[in-house]
């Protein structure tokens, strides 16, 4: 694989050659012992990353399937959930739940800000919620959810804590046996393969803790078939059994990626992402690019940056794409006014440093003064 575009959108992220090589391995029968082994090893490594004493599921699909699995397996039509949303992907839970006849309340602060815990506490006190959804990092805004505050708050009311980790898993800690206080723990973590794990898109990965598994067991029937974890439970225990054909080559790639994640070490990987986020924001601030989320709530995995006056979004991104760096536009009301840059997965500090330089050139091409040396010095000082 001639390497490559620098894919700095918030997923998919750059894929390492050794992961491509795993993807290109021969496709064996899905029941072949070698595929069974790949599946069991993949599950084991996911279990280790989430540190769960529950069950992990890996199925073909995108992150949205994992969101759907989290909801339909725990909440019945007519029951109510609370959606805490920090942007576009948090909002997705509202439509998703409503399409299954689930009642939804939501708390949605202005984009770039965190939910107010007092408002969350008031909602929890005044209603009965089966579950509360939280997006660990919202990919539209670059806001990181405050688990230290939210997990104990939600668990005080015994609602299930469902965490969307699609833009955080493998870059920010998601430890399902971590006690956030008085035994409060995360019940479900869901994710996709293509963000901080660094695999191409195509796998939904989801972990159910004991209370979430019990919630499924209490539902007699759910409005799903492919997404029903009861159909997958026997397969995850014995992958030589068949329910629906697994994405064999994606499992090879995922296994390789997880070996890379664990070889780096989870704590080291989380610390590296913290530094990458701080360094890229410090560097780009020298150009007058303002993060939507202030530093105290900013995500280690991606940043949404507002353009200074007079910068034309499409031209800016076209300039970068012409030099091999792909960044994403902003969503909803920010479209044209901001762009998003991913700094997660197996992207290196050297690549991001180079991107800092090219972003300076892109701004300069539109007549903005950009001190590239100063920006890169800021990057170096923070990395
Ligand atoms: C990307 C993303 C999703 C959606 O995942 P798909 O793989 O596109 O279905 C959901 N939640 C978050 C936080 C995301 O970043």
Q: Would you list the domain boundaries of the chain?
A: 17-263, 265-382
Q: Which atom of ligand 1 is nearest to the CA of 194?
A: 7
Degrees (nearest 5) of the Cα angle 248, 250, 253? 120
Q: Is the predicted pLDDT of residue 223 greater than 90, yes or no?
A: yes
pLDDT in tens, 18-29: 999 999 999 999
**What's the CATH code, domain 17-263?**
3.40.640.10
The reported pLDDT for the residue numbered 288 is: 97
Cis, peptide link before residue 36, omega less than 30° from 0: no
DSSP state of 76: -
Q: How many whole angstroms from 307 Cα to the centroid of ligand 1?
A: 24
Q: Is the predicted pLDDT of residue 331 greater than 90, yes or no?
A: yes
User: Could you give the maximum distance between any two Cα atoms of the chain, in Å?
Assistant: 63
For residue 208, list its beta bridge partners: 55, 188
pLDDT in tens, 28-69: 999 999 999 999 999 999 999 999 999 999 999 999 999 999
Q: For residue 120, how many C-alpha atoms fall within 13 Å in the half-sphere facing its CB?
A: 27
pLDDT in tens, 114-126: 999 999 999 999 9
pTM for the whole structure: 0.98
Q: Kindly report the CATH class assigned to 265-382.
A: alpha beta
pLDDT in tens, 276-321: 999 999 999 999 999 999 999 999 999 999 999 999 999 999 999 9
Q: Is the predicted pLDDT of residue 1 greater than 80, yes or no?
A: no
Q: Which atom of ligand 1 is nearest to the CA of 135?
A: 13
- Which residue from 192, 204, 343 has its CB within 8 A of the most atoms of ligand 1, so it is best to mutate? 192
DSSP state of 334: G
Cα distance between residue 281 and residue 383, in whole Å: 11
pLDDT in tens, 259-282: 999 999 999 999 999 999 999 999
Q: How many whole angstroms from 42 Cα to the centroid of ligand 1?
A: 21
Cα distance between residue 176 and residue 165, in whole Å: 12
């Amino acid at each position: 694989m001639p390497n490559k575009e620098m894919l700095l959108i918030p997923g998919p992220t750059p894929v390492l050659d050794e992961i491509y090589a795993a993807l290109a391995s021969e496709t064996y029968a899905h029941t072949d012992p070698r595929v069974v082994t790949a599946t069991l090893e993949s599950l084991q490594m996911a279990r280790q990353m989430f540190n769960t004493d529950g069950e992990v599921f890996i199925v073909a699909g995108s992150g949205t399937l994992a969101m759907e699995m989290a909801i339909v397996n725990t909440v019945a039509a007519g029951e109510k959930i609370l959606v805490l949303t920090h942007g576009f992907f948090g909002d997705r839970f509202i439509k998703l739940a409503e399409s299954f006849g689930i009642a939804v309340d939501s708390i949605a602060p202005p984009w770039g800000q965190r939910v107010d815990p007092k408002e969350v506490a008031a909602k929890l006190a005044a209603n009965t919620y089966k579950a509360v959804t939280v997006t660990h990092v919202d990919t539209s805004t670059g806001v990181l959810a405050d688990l230290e505050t939210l997990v104990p708050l939600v668990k005080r009311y015994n609602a299930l804590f469902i965490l969307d980790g699609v833009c955080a898993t493998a870059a920010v800690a998601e430890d399902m046996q971590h006690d956030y206080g008085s035994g409060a723990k995360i019940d479900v973590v869901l994710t996709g393969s293509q963000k901080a794990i660094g695999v191409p898109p195509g796998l939904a990965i989801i972990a159910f803790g004991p209370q979430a598994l019990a919630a499924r067991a209490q539902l007699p029937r759910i409005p799903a078939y492919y997404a029903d974890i009861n159909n997958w439970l026997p397969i995850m225990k014995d992958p030589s059994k068949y329910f629906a054909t697994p994405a064999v080559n994606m499992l090879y790639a995922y296994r390789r990626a997880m070996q890379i994640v664990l070889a780096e070490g989870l704590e080291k990987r989380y610390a590296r992402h913290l530094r990458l986020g701080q360094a890229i924001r410090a560097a780009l601030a020298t150009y007058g690019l303002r993060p939507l989320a202030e530093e105290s709530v900013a995500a280690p995995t991606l940043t949404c940056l507002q353009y200074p006056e007079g910068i034309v979004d499409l031209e800016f991104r076209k300039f970068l794409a012409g030099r091999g760096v792909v960044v994403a536009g902003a969503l909803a009301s920010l479209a044209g006014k901001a762009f998003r840059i991913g700094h997660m997965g197996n992207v290196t500090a050297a690549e991001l440093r180079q991107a800092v330089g090219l972003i300076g050139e892109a701004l300069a091409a539109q007549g903005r003064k950009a001190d590239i040396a100063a920006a890169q010095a800021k990057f170096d000082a923070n990395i």
